Structure 1
């Protein structure tokens, strides 16, 4: 029996040096996944919807978030997600990971 090699999920590069607010965060995600000006959600609920398919790549995939420290520093507003207190940046990561995305922060 011949084994078919396992396919590695696609990998996308998010350029995060300019992610200093929520709009910039979603613009960077959209550009990473759907090219310049691409859409992939404009809030956490829309991001979760996009992860289910129909708006670009569907999980599983890997998102390499370059300059992630910029977003971590700026997206600091707090919100409760599933009973946990998270920064907005952490909530975005949580949404991506819950949707089947492997996020690599660089």
Structure 2
């Protein structure tokens, strides 16, 4: 029987902008000194290890709709398209092996 992944709960109500996302994520993951990145590249680095939990784990993102409405800055995406900062976060987490449950 496969081992169950650890679960962490992210409070989407606490996410009002990009910096508050990283603060809330650091808190949710109980990362050392509350740090788990400050931008997408730093988040990817943290997911590789040394700054708190390493994937695989499950992130249960409560009130994710509220966070989605606030993390709207557009970033370039493959194919000349763009994606929201929220979607870019999901891509980084997924690429690293984090299972995200949006609630």
What are the Cα deviations for residues 50-82 of structure 1, in whole angstroms up to 9, with x where unaligned?
000100000000000000011100111100144
- Show structure 2 runs of 5+ residues with no match: none
Q: How many residues align?
A: 102
CA RMSD of aligned residues (A): 1.5
- Show structure 1 runs of 5+ residues with no match: none
Aligned-partner Cα distance in 2 for 1:59–1:82: 25
Larger radius of gyration: 1
| Poorly superposed stretches of 4+, deviation over 2 Å | 81-84
TM-score normalised by the chain length of structure 2: 0.92
TM-score normalised by the chain length of structure 1: 0.89
Question: Judging changes above 3 Å, is the alpha-carbon distance between structure 1 residues 82 and 54 closer, same or farther for their aligned structure 2 residues?
Answer: farther
CA contact (8 A) 2:15 2:67 kept: yes
